[in-house]
Structure 1
Amino acid sequence: MNQVQQLLTTLKSFRKQKLIAAQLAWIKFRDTNCEFQRSRYEGGSIAFTIYFGCLENITKLRTQQLQELKIKVYAEVEIPEYWVVNLRKR
């Protein structure tokens, strides 16, 4: 959620609402997708491991997406290109 909060501080009002809606939809997708992954092992001892592993993996991917979005947003507010290149290295 930290990535979302950082983005919200840099976005214009109408884009903030879009990001919030996108994040809420993503959370619903994440939870439903991981429940689906877990359901293959319903009743087995590995089911929860599959579920939490899915949550971890999909959250890492979303974090990367948000970091890339943050770089693009910073570029929109005309940050010099050398700063953007340095942000990509993080």
Structure 2
Amino acid sequence: MSRNVVEKLLYQLCIDRSIKQRFKEEGDKLLDRYALTEQERHWVQTFDVAALQKHGVHPMLTMGFWQENAPNRSPVAYMQALRPESSATEPVFSAALKQ
């Protein structure tokens, strides 16, 4: 996994308005500019923050990416995205959230 490339992309999606707009309008073309695997592309396109964190992406970047770009930007939706469906009643661990 090219974690550094994913982290750079998420950082840019957090701070750069033009990149955010391109991601919304033509996400595939934007992602072509980055050396991502098909799996990484899928995680970014589907806002799979749990998979991104599991594979080493910094939790603050996944949270910022979610808050700036996800269709439902609420903290509750973010927490649900971190929780695997099979363990919906178990607590979620994320370094970005106090337990």
The TM-score range, normalised by the shorter chain, is under 0.3
TM-score by length of 2: 0.25
User: Comparing both structures, which one devotes a greater share of its residues to helix?
Assistant: 1
TM-score by length of 1: 0.27
Q: State which structure, 1 or 2, has the greater radius of gyration over its C-alpha atoms.
A: 1
